[in-house]
């Protein structure tokens, strides 16, 4: 195969419709007779519901239906949780609260009206009698003796305990020259896709067909879950994910509103739409991170790491969402990062609190792991007075160590960590940066340099290691006109697979990328698939497409060889023709061979007509992209403001289908990390009120907060799939946070500070400098 | 009780009676069916709902339709045709405004949700400043949030458009756009 | 996202508007650009029974010279102020301040009158208006009155405006020669409001070596914007030096109860008031010297 398109920065096929505003996200769709749902949500973090009075709301103008939890009792199953941990306690989220509310924003009642304004107005007419209970907000207090359990039948607020150990930890700590301990807080975040969630459901009673449009990353899994929650025949449920305005994991879930809006459409026999407000999105769509990590590391004086031990308190919120308990366990698996650490142990205590559930947010457990191990490497360097780069380099596995088995039970597929590190050092001119830093410190200016060498686990994944299947599907169908339809089980929402899969198809079949239409997100068209998350769409979904393309290609080769009188093995696909290697005269136009498959008069004996192939690709392992990020900040001594000065990212995601799109993923991921490092934090007060409840109070990075990001790549293909691609969707977010944190800690080193918890808000930094200003080194 | 309004949207006159509390963004989306203008928050922060009102970028979720009565509005659907002073709606022939083209060329969008607002904010900037530097672009786009791109390709998209626009004679966005220097 | 219903009035003349506010009193809210009121209404933190939209009133959006003063109509947008050549020449502090409000879209729509009447404790204009000793003109059905900026801000979201009054104009004396101004702001990273904003207006004397008179307005620090008189006293008549400026700035929060919230504690706000006061004074002096050198 000649690679005319693979690896090239093609412009996206998706863009023309998006830049003209003529495509459709959920809220852009309108059906005849459509009604609008609005949810009344609890203002209390913890309360018993004594009564819900819907009588006034039911009589309000335009209102056709109003329901409380009691009205749907037993009709809709609670929100599913696919993750299973031995001995974990149950904490299923009801679609509407029945007797008790457990977080601010939990839905208590729903109203359907003829327009969205009337639905909203009716909410003000609902009277709920709450008996407020003491909220449990702090996870450590939640598991302290005497704390009241959130859930009936539980003896405490421990959801589960999970542990993982590998290697001889005792020996490691015994032979250590030093043991360094640190508490790290990985704060709670709000994903904030710019499109909030939204659902439309339409029920056709005659056909018995239920159609649900949802802003989701997982249309097929959602179809199965809606069918189960409503006890509705799955074959009659169609789920469509139209344009989806960002997800970042927050739409990798099943939410009460998705089942409930479908239920309402069935009850009313009318289409029903619900559009989430930003406030609802903050309160009742999953949050991310929220771990307290107490870490201990055993080191030798020369900087080699012998062992790592960590206890994690994971604040899960009040209920499980789809993957809630699983997320912190990913932190455990990746805790040793890109280092040869012979022994490691992690214990996780999952804790219930009166907050929204945490779940997968871009990186999902792995940014926490990278943050943990990279902060540890910096602390080791500081303690041993070594350069953080050298401590890292000392502990890298070498290229010939791959496949490399970690003490946590993973097999890293391929890597050359030093190569990426050296490239980043060169691009950043690390030596010069250190000189500049020394010079500025003398002038009383505080510049910091942070280095993160990371590895992440993605391309999720083998089914054996996943809560649901880890495979992906793809159907390639060459239509009679010669155009190619690619149906992928991945559900891209910005990642650009309509383009990259077309690039791949074009090279495999020797035709132009414009001939491809990549179809996704509609369960009635696409064979059952898994979805887009965990940096898997290209590594797993793309491989499924590739394999289907090869099957179709093989059939075409047989047809063409039959037509020109040659050997299928010798057929070459290029420039819209299929030709025999030995003679350019033995050639048919691509369309001619396709036509033969459908007209079916000149096919080889025993060949079925048609030109379609489906693959369910199951990867043998995860993939492990890696890289080095270097960040330079300067701190304003008087205000505590952290200013980004430079950012260098060298990422290795294996082979690349489209470098332009890879760049976009890396840059976007890094900026999400900047958000966590500098600004973002979901803050609940002691009453369990989410006081960062709007974008007025929860700061995202703006264009004006950033510096230019310098990117470069090394290429270490993975042996896990034939494309050699690893995945890049989360790399930026996983790799960047520790570089930012390292830079801030480094800038503050003259103040005797070696670690600060994120976010690095100005006042926090200012306080640290002020407290130690007497002993500036 | 409805209030009579009349607006000039993407070159076309619209009359109607609306509830006074109807937000401009809902008028555009739900009444006129121009769904390219998106809603991302309710507090005037995210900028997804940005349109041009008498040539200037404004957030249509923080404006009542009645307030906009008598004004001229350009939404993303009408941007390309507005530069030619041509008809209404998306350019049927696929012609793009230079800023739209920049976003396509430079991969200035991923999920595309913030994109219409971002493009119109960039158009506002380029009307005032034909050759903005990186800092000026960053500052002019600080009323628009993007969660996908990290903004860098957006900045390149605006630079691309600036170059392209200065290579040909200046375009008039709408009748009143020329007021800004 | 959706405001509650209200009765809408769009008066065509100021007189008509004044009669409406007189009739509806507390139950009415004035709508100018809408950037203060509408977000509150959409979150249903405000649900006025009557909304009186003065945005369509003609002749209330202008920046012009009148009797030796600069007069700014209440409906003038932030962006018109930001880009005004007249203000750049005669009162640069206002454009400097306007340029730091919110974002481009907000500045294109928000008005100076609406912003001042709303009196958000984190609003930017109040600092500038105070430092400029501006006058605020308010009208009611029986006439107009002039309120000095110093008396205008009463408390959080509360001004001297009486029920039935509409803010119609802001009047400012043009910048004298050898004076300089600056607005220095620490913004809240999510909303862009001022955690602390300091407007400095200094008049130099003695061959530009001394401060003849200083006026310092501070916003964000407390429930209402105020004049930092203790800072001014420490500057007036002094020969300029880093130490004089630094020492004077230490008085920035004197006698003030600082706000404390999610974004900044009272202690931090107080310290930032000192830092930003110093920076604003230093920049204002630079401006005064720079302009003088330019030969104005």
pLDDT, one tens digit per residue, over A750-765 is: 999 999 999 999 999 9
Coil, helix or strand for B125? helix
Q: Which residues of A touch B136 (CB under 8 A)?
A: none
Are A706 and B145 in contact (CB < 8 Å)? no
**CATH, residue C142:** 3.30.465.10
Residue of C104, C114, C192 best to disrupt the B interface, most CBs of B under 10 A: C104
CB-side neighbour CA atoms (13 Å) of A521: 22
The percentage of chain A sitting over the pLDDT mark of 90, rounded to a whole number, equals: 97
Are B155 and A496 a contacting pair at CB < 8 A? no
Check CB contact under 8 Å for A124 and C189. no
For C278, the closest chain A residue by CA position comes to A638
Helices marked H in A82-128 — which ranges?
116-123
- Regarding whether C89 and C168 lie in a shared domain, the answer is yes
Is the per-residue pLDDT at C144 higher than 60?
Answer: yes
CB contact under 8 A, B41 and A668: no
The pLDDT assigned to A65 comes to 98
Do C14 and C72 share a domain, yes or no? no
B154 and A CB contact within 8 Å: yes
User: Does ipTM surpass 0.95 in this model?
Assistant: yes
Residues C156 and C67 in one domain: yes
Residue C1 covered by a domain: no
- Per the CB < 8 Å rule, is C43 touching B43? yes
> Own/partner pairs for B23-26, CB < 8 Å, 24+ apart?
B23/B60, B23/B61, B23/B63, B23/B64, B23/B65, B23/C2, B23/C3, B23/C42, B24/B51, B24/B60, B24/B61, B24/B63, B24/B64, B24/B65, B24/B67, B24/B68, B24/B73, B25/B49, B25/B60, B25/B61, B25/B63, B26/A116, B26/B65
Residue B93: per-residue pLDDT: 54
Q: Both C14 and C97 in a single domain?
A: no
Quick check: A28 and B142 CB within 8 A? no
A242 in contact with chain B, both atoms CB, cutoff 8 A: no
A171-202 burial, b at 16+ Cβ within 10 Å, e below that, comes to: ebbeebeeebebebebbbbbbbbbbbbbbbbb
Considering only alpha carbons, which residue of chain A is nearest residue B38?
A: A195
Angle (nearest 5°) at CA C87 between C84 and C93: 115
CA B67 to chain centre: 18
List the 68-107 stretch of C: residues with Cβ below 8 A of A.
none
Q: What is the mean pLDDT of residues A121-143?
A: 98
The residue of chain B with its CA nearest to that of C37 is B62
Mean pLDDT of A332-351: 98
* Nearest residue, CB atoms, B64 vs list C4, C7, C34: C34
Helix (H) or strand (E) holding A629: strand A626-635
Neighbours of chain C (3+ CB pairs under 8 A): A, B
* A691 to C43: CB separation less than 8 angstroms, yes or no: no
* Interface contact flag, B64 C31, Cβ < 8 Å: yes
- Residue B55's pLDDT is 96
Per-residue pLDDT reduced to its tens digit, A55-102: 999 999 999 999 999 999 999 999 999 999 999 999 999 999 999 999
Number of domains composing chain C = 3
Record: contact B41-A30, CB cut-off 8 A: no
Q: What is the mean pLDDT of chain A?
A: 96
Residues of chain B contacting C53 with CB distance shorter than 8 Å: 64, 66-67
Domain presence at residue C218:
yes
CA–CA distance from A483 to each of A12, A342, A601, B73, C227 (Å)? 18, 54, 21, 40, 73
Strand order in the sheet with A571-574: A571-574, A577-580, A583-589
Given a cut of 70, is residue C294 above it in pLDDT?
Answer: no
- Spatial neighbors of A244 by CB under 8 A, at least 6 apart, are A25, A195, A215, A216, A217, A251, A491, A493, A494, A521, B111
- CATH number of the domain at C273, please: 3.30.390.50
Q: Does residue C287 carry a pLDDT above 50?
A: yes
DSSP string, A575-600: TTEEEETTEEEEEEEHHHHHHHHHH-
Question: Chain A contact for B34, CB < 8 A?
Answer: yes
A550 exposure class (CB count in 10 Å sphere: 0-12, 13-18, 19+): middle
Q: Do C69 and C168 have their domain in common?
A: yes
Residues C280 and C254 reside in one and the same domain: yes
- SS3 helix, strand, coil % of chain B, rounded to 5? 40, 15, 45
pTM equals 0.96
A184, A114 contact by CB (below 8 A): no
Q: Which of C172, C190, C207 is the endpoint of a domain?
A: C172
Same domain, residue pair C167 and C206: no
In a domain, C2, yes or no: no
Burial degree of A206 (CB within 10 A; 0-12, 13-18, 19+): exposed
Contact of C290 with chain B, judged by CB distance below 8 Å, is answered with no
Strands (E), C24-106: 28-31, 50-53, 63-66, 69-73
Q: Do C209 and C248 lie in a common domain?
A: yes
Neighbouring subunits of A (3+ Cβ pairs under 8 A): B, C
Non-local CB neighbours of A554 within 8 Å, separated by 6+ positions? A568
Q: Look up tokens 């007021």; give the residue.
A: B179
Answer yes or no: do C37 and C92 share one domain: no
CB contact under 8 Å between A19 and B46, yes or no, is no
| In chain C, residues 186-245 whose CB comes closer than 8 Å to chain B | 190-192
**C6 in reach of chain B (CB within 8 A):** yes
Q: Is residue C33 part of a domain?
A: yes
Query: Subunits touching B (CB < 8 Å, at least 3 pairs)?
Result: A, C
Sheet order of strands, A642-652 included: A446-455, A626-635, A642-652, A709-713
Distances (CA, A) of B86 to A478, B95, B97: 39, 11, 13
* B80 contacts chain A (CB < 8 A): yes
Residue A716 near residue A707 (C-beta atoms within 8 A): no
Q: Which residues of chain B have pLDDT under 50?
A: 84-92, 171-181
Among C3, C43, C191, beta carbon nearest to B21? C3
CA distance A395 to chain B (A): 32
In a domain, C294, yes or no: no
Domains and CATH numbers, chain B: 3-78 (3.10.20.30), 85-167 (1.10.150.120)
**Residues in Cβ contact with A555 at an 8 Å cutoff, skipping those fewer than 6 apart:** A597, A607, A611, A613
- Chain A 625-684, residues with CB within 8 Å of chain B CB atoms: 660-661, 663-664, 667-672
Residue C129 covered by a domain: yes
Note whether C162 and C228 are same-domain residues.
no
User: What CATH number is associated with residue C28?
Assistant: 3.30.43.10
pLDDT tens profile C15-65: 999 999 999 988 999 999 999 899 999 999 999 999 999 998 989 999 999
**Given CB atoms, is C10 within the 8 Å cutoff of chain B?**
yes
Phi and psi angles of residue A469, each rounded to the nearest 5 degrees, phi first = -55, 150
C295 occurs within a structural domain: no
Res A775 pLDDT > 70: no
Cα(A208)–Cα(A220) distance, rounded to whole angstroms?
A: 19
Give the end of a domain, one of C118, C146, C172: C172
Tens-digit pLDDT profile for residues A573-596: 999 999 999 888 999 999 999 999
Contact A389, A451 (CB under 8 A): yes
Closest to C35 (Cβ–Cβ): which among B44, B57, B128?
B44
A with C: how many residue pairs have Cβ under 8 Å apart? 45
Average pLDDT value for chain C: 95
Give me the pLDDT at residue A777, please.
53
Name which of A274, A701, A703, A728 to mutate to probe chain B: the one with the most chain B Cβ atoms within 10 A of its Cβ.
Answer: A703
The maximal CA–CA distance of chain A, rounded, in angstroms, is: 91
C91 falls within a domain: yes
Range of the domain at C225: 179-288
- Beta strand B3-9 with A288-299: parallel, antiparallel or unpaired? unpaired
Contact B21 C38 (CB under 8 A): no
d(CA C136, CA A681): 41
- Tokens linked to A438: 């020394």
In this complex, the residue of C39, C43, C189 whose CB is nearest that of residue A699 is C189
Nearest neighbour of B140 by CB, restricted to C39, C102, C104: C104
User: What is d(CA A468, CA A221) in angstroms, rounded to the nearest whole number?
Assistant: 9
Interchain proximity C105–B57, CB inside 8 Å? yes
Residues of chain A positioned with their CB less than 8 A from the CB of C1:
120, 277-278
Predicted pLDDT at C115: 96
Identify all chain C residues contacting B71, using CB atoms and an 8 Å cutoff: none
Report chain C residues whose CB lies below 8 A from the CB of B142: 103-104, 192
Touching B: A residues 30-89, CB under 8 Å:
30
Full set of structural domains in chain A with CATH: 31-135+192-284 (3.90.1170.50), 462-617 (3.30.365.10)
Q: Are residues C138 and C202 in the same domain?
A: no
Condensed to tens digits (0 to 9), the pLDDT of residues A454-503 reads: 999 999 889 988 888 899 999 999 999 999 999 999 999 999 999 999 99
Residues A713/A650, Cβ–Cβ less than 8 Å: yes
Q: Which of C1, C189, C265 sits opposite A277 (nearest CB)?
A: C1
Q: Which residues of A touch C (CB under 8 A)?
A: 116-117, 120-121, 124, 277-279, 638-639, 678-679, 683, 691-692, 694-700, 705, 762-763, 766-767
Question: What tokens were used for C30?
Answer: 């004035």
Residue C179: enclosing H or E segment and its boundaries?
A: strand C179-187
Residue A142 pLDDT exceeds 60: yes
Q: Choose the closest CB to B103 out of A19, A24, A694.
A: A19
Q: How confident is the model at residue A153 (pLDDT cuts 50, 70, 90)?
A: very high
Calculate mean pLDDT across residues C267-282.
98
Q: What angle do CA A222, A227, A231 make, to 5 degrees?
A: 150
Q: Is the pLDDT of residue C67 over 60?
A: yes
**Helix A388-395, helix A366-384: angle, nearest 10:** 120
Return the number of CB contacts < 8 Å for A and B: 185
* Domain boundary pick from C133, C151, C172: C172
Same domain, C183 and C168: no
Q: Does C104 contact B70 at a Cβ distance shorter than 8 Å? A: no
C284 min Cα distance to partner chain B (Å) = 23
| Nearest in space to A333 (alpha carbons), one of A162, A152, A102 | A162
């Amino acid at each position: 195969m000649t690679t005319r398109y693979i690896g090239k920065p093609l412009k996206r096929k998706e863009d023309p419709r998006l830049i003209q505003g003529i495509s459709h996200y959920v809220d852009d769709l309108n059906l005849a007779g459509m009604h609008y749902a609005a949810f009344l949500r609890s203002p209390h973090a913890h309360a018993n519901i004594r009564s819900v009075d819907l009588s006034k709301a039911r009589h309000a103008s335009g209102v056709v239906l109003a329901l409380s939890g009691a009205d749907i009792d037993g009709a809709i199953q609670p929100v599913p949780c696919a993750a299973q941990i031995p001995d974990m306690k149950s904490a299923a989220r009801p679609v509407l609260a029945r007797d008790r509310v457990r977080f601010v924003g939990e839905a208590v009642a729903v109203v359907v009206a003829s327009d969205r304004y009337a639905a909203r107005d009716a909410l003000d007419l609902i009277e709920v009698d709450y008996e407020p209970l003491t909220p449990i907000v702090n996870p450590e207090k939640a598991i302290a003796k005497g704390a009241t359990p959130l859930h009936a039948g539980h003896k405490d607020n421990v959801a589960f305990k999970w542990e993982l150990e590998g290697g001889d930890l005792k020996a490691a700590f015994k032979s250590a020259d030093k043991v360094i301990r640190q508490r790290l807080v990985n704060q709670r975040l709000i994903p904030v896709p710019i499109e909030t969630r939204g659902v439309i459901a339409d029920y056709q009673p005659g056909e018995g067909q239920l159609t649900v449009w949802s802003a989701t990353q997982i249309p097929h899994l959602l179809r199965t879950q809606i069918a189960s929650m409503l006890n509705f025949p799955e074959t009659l449920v169609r789920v469509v994910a139209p344009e989806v305005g960002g997800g970042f994991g927050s739409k990798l879930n099943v939410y009460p509103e998705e089942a409930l809006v479908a239920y309402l459409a069935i009850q009313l026999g009318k289409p029903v739409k619900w559009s989430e407000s930003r406030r609802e999105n903050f309160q009742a769509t999953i949050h991310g991170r929220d771990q307290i990590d107490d870490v201990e590391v055993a080191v030798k004086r020369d900087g080699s790491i012998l062992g790592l031990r960590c206890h994690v308190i994971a604040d899960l919120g009040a209920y499980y969402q789809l993957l809630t308990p699983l997320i912190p366990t990913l932190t455990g698996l990746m805790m040793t990062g890109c280092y040869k650490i012979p022994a490691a142990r992690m214990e996780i205590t999952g804790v219930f609190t009166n907050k929204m559930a945490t779940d997968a947010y871009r990186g999902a457990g792995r940014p926490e792991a990278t943050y943990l191990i990279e902060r540890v490497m910096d602390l080791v360097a500081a303690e041993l007075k070594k350069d953080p780069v050298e401590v890292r380099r000392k502990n890298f596995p070498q290229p010939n160590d791959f496949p490399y088995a970690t003490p946590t039970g993973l097999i890293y597929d391929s890597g050359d960590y030093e190569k990426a590190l050296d490239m980043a050092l060169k691009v950043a001119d690390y030596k010069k940066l250190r000189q500049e830093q020394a010079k500025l410190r003398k002038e009383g200016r505080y510049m910091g340099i942070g280095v993160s060498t990371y590895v992440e686990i993605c391309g999720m994944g083998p089914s054996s290691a996943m809560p649901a299947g880890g495979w992906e599907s793809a159907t390639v169908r060459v239509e009679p006109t010669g155009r190619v339809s690619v149906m992928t089980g991945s559900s891209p929402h910005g990642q650009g697979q309509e383009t990259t899969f077309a690039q791949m198809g074009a090279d495999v079949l020797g035709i132009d990328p414009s001939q491809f239409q990549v179809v996704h997100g509609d369960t009635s068209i696409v064979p059952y698939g898994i979805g887009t998350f965990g940096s898997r769409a290209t590594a797993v979904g793309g491989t499924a497409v590739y394999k289907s393309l090869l099957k179709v290609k093989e059939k075409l080769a047989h047809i063409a060889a039959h037509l020109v009188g040659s050997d299928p093995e010798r057929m070459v696909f290029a420039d819209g023709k299929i030709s025999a290697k030995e003679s350019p005269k033995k050639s048919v136009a691509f369309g001619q061979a396709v036509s033969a498959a459908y007209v079916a008069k000149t096919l080889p004996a025993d060949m079925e007509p048609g030109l379609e192939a489906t693959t369910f690709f199951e990867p043998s392992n995860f993939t492990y992209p890696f890289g080095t990020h270097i960040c330079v900040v300067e701190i304003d001594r008087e205000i505590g403001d952290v200013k980004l000065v430079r950012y260098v990212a060298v990422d290795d995601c294996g082979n690349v289908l489209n470098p332009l799109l890879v760049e976009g993923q890396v840059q976007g991921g890094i900026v999400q990390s900047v958000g966590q490092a500098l600004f973002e934090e979901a803050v609940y007060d002691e009453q369990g009120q989410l006081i960062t409840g709007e974008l007025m109070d929860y700061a995202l990075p703006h264009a004006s907060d950033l510096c230019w990001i310098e990117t470069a790549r090394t290429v270490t293909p993975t042996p896990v799939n034939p494309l050699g691609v690893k995945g890049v969707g989360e790399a930026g977010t996983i790799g960047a946070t520790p570089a930012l944190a390292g830079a801030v800690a480094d800038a503050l080193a003259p103040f005797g500070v070696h670690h600060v918890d994120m976010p690095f808000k100005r006042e926090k930094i200012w306080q640290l400098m002020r407290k130690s200003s007497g002993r500036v080194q | 009780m409805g209030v009579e309004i009349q607006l000039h949207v993407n070159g076309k006159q619209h009359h109607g009676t609306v509830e006074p509390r109807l937000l401009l963004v809902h008028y555009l989306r739900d009444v006129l069916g121009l769904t390219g203008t998106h809603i991302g928050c309710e507090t005037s922060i995210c900028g997804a709902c940005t349109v041009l009102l008498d040539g200037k970028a404004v957030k249509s979720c923080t404006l009542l339709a009645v307030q906009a009565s008598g004004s001229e509005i350009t939404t993303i659907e009408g941007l390309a045709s507005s530069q030619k002073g041509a008809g209404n709606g998306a350019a049927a022939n696929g012609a793009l405004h230079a800023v739209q083209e920049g976003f396509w060329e430079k991969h200035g969008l991923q999920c595309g949700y913030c994109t219409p607002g971002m493009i119109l904010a960039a158009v506002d900037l380029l009307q005032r400043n034909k050759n903005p530097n990186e800092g000026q672009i960053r500052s002019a786009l600080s009323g628009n949030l993007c969660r996908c791109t990290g903004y860098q390709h957006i900045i390149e998209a605006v630079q691309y458009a600036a170059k392209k626009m200065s290579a040909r004679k200046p375009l008039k966005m709408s009748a009143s756009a020329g007021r800004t220097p | 996202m959706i405001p509650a219903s209200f009765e809408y009035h769009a008066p065509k003349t100021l007189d008509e508007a004044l009669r409406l506010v007189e009739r509806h009193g507390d139950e009415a809210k004035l709508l100018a650009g809408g950037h203060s009121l509408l977000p509150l209404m959409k979150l249903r933190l405000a649900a006025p029974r009557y909304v009186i939209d003065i945005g369509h009133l003609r002749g209330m959006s202008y920046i012009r010279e009148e009797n030796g003063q600069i007069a700014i109509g209440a409906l003038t947008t932030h962006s018109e102020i930001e880009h005004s050549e007249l203000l750049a020449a005669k009162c640069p502090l206002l454009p400097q301040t306007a340029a730091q409000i919110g974002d481009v879209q907000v500045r294109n729509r928000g008005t100076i009158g609406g912003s001042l009447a709303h009196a958000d404790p984190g609003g930017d204009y109040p600092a500038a208006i105070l430092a400029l000793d501006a006058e605020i003109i308010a009208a009611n059905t029986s006439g107009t009155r002039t309120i000095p900026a110093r008396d205008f801000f009463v408390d959080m979201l509360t001004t001297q405006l009486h029920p039935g009054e509409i803010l119609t104009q802001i009047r400012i004396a043009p910048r004298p020669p050898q004076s300089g101004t600056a607005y220095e702001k620490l913004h809240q990273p999510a909303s862009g409001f001022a955690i602390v904003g300091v407007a400095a207006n200094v008049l130099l004397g003695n061959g530009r070596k001394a401060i003849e008179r200083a006026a310092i307005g501070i916003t964000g620090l407390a429930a209402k914007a105020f004049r930092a008189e203790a800072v001014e006293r420490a500057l007036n008549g002094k020969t300029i030096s880093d130490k004089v400026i630094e020492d004077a700035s230490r008085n920035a929060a004197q006698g003030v109860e600082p706000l404390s919230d999610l974004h900044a504690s009272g202690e931090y706000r107080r310290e930032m008031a000192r830092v930003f006061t110093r920076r604003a004074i230093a920049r204002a002096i630079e401006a005064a010297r720079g302009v003088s050198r330019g030969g104005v």
